[in-house]
A and B are shown apart, each in its own frame.
Chain A
């Protein structure tokens, strides 16, 4: 330990402003993502790749293939569904797991909470970073579900409506991240298993990932109950944008749910987060 005079010498011109701090925090997330890219890549892809492999390749080969609706192949149904569920799961997990660590154990949230930024804005930053990871998760899944299939089982996919596609992708990712922040601030980490069993599993299994919402006409009660599942709107929104020939929910309905839900959950999660950080 030499003299500390230098350590305390006049600093380089520092102008901490809130936007700069916010961007620096986003840069940190990108750095962490880059470091963990390989493990993220594997984690994000494993489930959807296995799924399309079994349902779009193996089952059709052995004669047990599921028919989609109205002549569409099952893989056509799966593309928007699996991309949507990937966005939602990745965005939620990207915020829930770090947060459970940060808010408990050593309370390492203090590291970020002491940065010169209002605490509610730190919540917004967490939502933005997790949404970014959700989007990356969704984009990674795209090629897998497009290209893994048996002969004759190719999905019919094209972006028919770019504005709807972009709004759905962005608001779906933000909605999921805000929902994740809300759960992460409300749920006790010891109950993480319950979170999986009772929240994440039903969301994915019943999120109109494997069938379009319209097809639920024949199971009316489930069609209605499904409306409480945010993933339904994301899957249906992507269906409307990518596979418009498959029947889907009206555009106003899923846009209202996604954008309205994003605003409501962000507001709510920001409040619960601030309450957890500032004691």
Chain B
């Protein structure tokens, strides 16, 4: 088996994870390769259940790979897990704050777990609380904090020991839009200062807004990876046109498949989805095809070029939120 290169921030080769359960084996990750460079903002994009969290779990040493290997900051995640943990910070999806400690103490003890003296740890905790506008919540218990505050505190906690790589698993899931945008701002600032960041998300716009490079993940595999621009260009279609009829889809619609500029036509019950490149006039044509077959259009949408179209072209199905 080949070893991942040591000089990258994260290198993973053919990572697999299969969970054993009484009802049989559940494959969560089925062969993932990764190569994240220092200073990069890398996104794992995919629907719920795609295997993103399991992948992050393996990179942060808490999930043991079934096969394959991964190195973080040059250290093997299974054989040198303590060395890896010293160099990473992790913001998990759930609120994993220590509920027996106040906001301040959560940071103070994180610092001490990472070898700081009591005084350094307390100074560092105050510095971070101020930086993230949490000073007035210093003595609050994690249970008393709002979702956005708790998430910010978790980011502080992940930064206490100045990790080389910061992992964020669905950092903005369940947050209100304003908090989400604030958080994006924080992450951009961190990256500007050289922080290597790996983020998982199921929000297209989040990946587009933040990430230098993205890997689209589904069913435990990477479907495509590259910069957002590369991915958009590689999809072969820049627009996805979805039309719903009030009856069966007219037969003639399947004929569109052979036309230039159309890469895929998907039919389902009363609905058609066309993946196209510069689809001028296509919508009108679909309406006309309908009326000549005696059905009318009840709903139509046209997705503009975005990661979402890439995702749909790659997976050919509705995005599961």
The residue in chain B whose Cβ has the minimal distance to the Cβ of A7 is: B131
The residue in chain A whose Cβ has the minimal distance to the Cβ of B57 is: A279
**Besides A8-B190, A110-B90, 6 other A-B contacts (C-beta < 8 A):** A2-B131, A8-B159, A14-B161, A31-B101, A32-B101, A278-B62
Residues in B whose Cβ lies below 8 Å from that of A98: 100
Q: Is the CB of B62 within 8 A of A4?
A: no
Q: Is the CB of A114 within 8 A of B120?
A: no
CB contacts under 8 Å to A, within B214-269, are: none
Number of residues of chain B lying within 8 A (CB) of chain A: 52
Q: Is the CB of A277 within 8 A of B131?
A: no
Q: Is the CB of B189 within 8 A of A3?
A: yes
Enumerate chain B interface residues (CB-CB to A < 8 A). Answer: 19, 57, 60-64, 81-82, 85-86, 88, 90, 92, 94-101, 105-106, 109-110, 112-117, 120, 124, 127-128, 131-133, 157, 159, 161-162, 182, 185-186, 189-190, 192-195
Given known pairs A32-B100, A110-B96, A279-B64, the reply for A5 and B115 (CB within 8 Å) is: no
Q: Is the CB of A114 within 8 A of B115?
A: no
Residues in B whose Cβ lies below 8 Å from that of A1: 131-133, 182, 185-186, 189
Distance between Cα atoms of A14 and B117 in the complex (Å): 8
Q: A159 → chain B, closest Cβ, in Å?
A: 34
Given known pairs A6-B131, A12-B120, A21-B114, the reply for A107 and B193 (CB within 8 Å) is: no
Q: B183 → chain A, closest Cβ, in Å?
A: 10
CB 8 Å contact bits of A1-38 with B (1 = contact, 0 = none): 11111111001101111101100110110011001100
Residues in B whose Cβ lies below 8 Å from that of A27: 109, 112
Binds B, one of A115-123, A140-148, A197-205, A226-234: A115-123
Distance between Cα atoms of A16 and B101 in the complex (Å): 22
Instruction: Report, nearest first, the 4 A-B pairs whose CB atoms are least far apart.
Output: A16-B115, A24-B112, A115-B113, A106-B94
Residues in B whose Cβ lies below 8 Å from that of A36: 100
Residues in B whose Cβ lies below 8 Å from that of A12: 116-117, 120, 124
Residues in B whose Cβ lies below 8 Å from that of A161: none
Q: Is the CB of A106 within 8 A of B96?
A: yes
Q: 21 A-B pairs, CB-CB below 8 angstroms?
A: A3-B189, A7-B131, A12-B124, A14-B120, A20-B115, A24-B112, A24-B113, A24-B115, A27-B109, A28-B101, A32-B100, A32-B101, A101-B99, A106-B94, A107-B96, A108-B95, A109-B96, A110-B62, A110-B92, A114-B90, A116-B115
Q: Is the CB of A11 within 8 A of B62?
A: no
The residue in chain A whose Cβ has the minimal distance to the Cβ of B116 is: A14
Given known pairs A1-B132, A279-B62, the reply for A8 and B90 (CB within 8 Å) is: no
Given known pairs A108-B96, A110-B96, the reply for A21 and B115 (CB within 8 Å) is: yes
Enumerate chain A interface residues (CB-CB to B < 8 A). Answer: 1-8, 11-12, 14-18, 20-21, 24-25, 27-28, 31-32, 35-36, 98, 101, 106-119, 277-279
Residues in B whose Cβ lies below 8 Å from that of A7: 127-128, 131, 159, 162, 190, 193
CB-contact partner of B85 in A17, A35, A114, A278, under 8 A: A114
Q: Is the CB of A278 within 8 A of B161?
A: no
Distance between Cα atoms of A16 and B163 in the complex (Å): 13
Q: Is the CB of B193 within 8 A of A116?
A: no
Q: Is the CB of B86 within 8 A of A16?
A: yes
Q: Is the CB of B62 within 8 A of A277?
A: yes
Q: A14 → chain B, closest Cβ, in Å?
A: 5
Q: A96 → chain B, closest Cβ, in Å?
A: 15
Residues in B whose Cβ lies below 8 Å from that of A32: 100-101
Distance between Cα atoms of A114 and B105 in the complex (Å): 17
The residue in chain B whose Cβ has the minimal distance to the Cβ of A17 is: B115
Q: B207 → chain A, closest Cβ, in Å?
A: 21
Q: B37 → chain A, closest Cβ, in Å?
A: 17
Q: Is the CB of B99 within 8 A of A108?
A: yes
Q: B137 → chain A, closest Cβ, in Å?
A: 15
Q: A226 → chain B, closest Cβ, in Å?
A: 36
Distance between Cα atoms of A24 and B192 in the complex (Å): 32
Residues in A whose Cβ lies below 8 Å from that of B81: 118-119
Q: A72 → chain B, closest Cβ, in Å?
A: 42
Q: A198 → chain B, closest Cβ, in Å?
A: 23
Given known pairs A1-B182, A7-B127, A21-B115, the reply for A108 and B97 (CB within 8 Å) is: yes
Distance between Cα atoms of A109 and B63 in the complex (Å): 13
Q: Is the CB of A11 within 8 A of B109?
A: no
Residues in B whose Cβ lies below 8 Å from that of A31: 101, 105, 109
Given known pairs A8-B193, A110-B62, A279-B64, the reply for A116 and B113 (CB within 8 Å) is: yes
Residues in B whose Cβ lies below 8 Å from that of A114: 60-62, 85, 88, 90
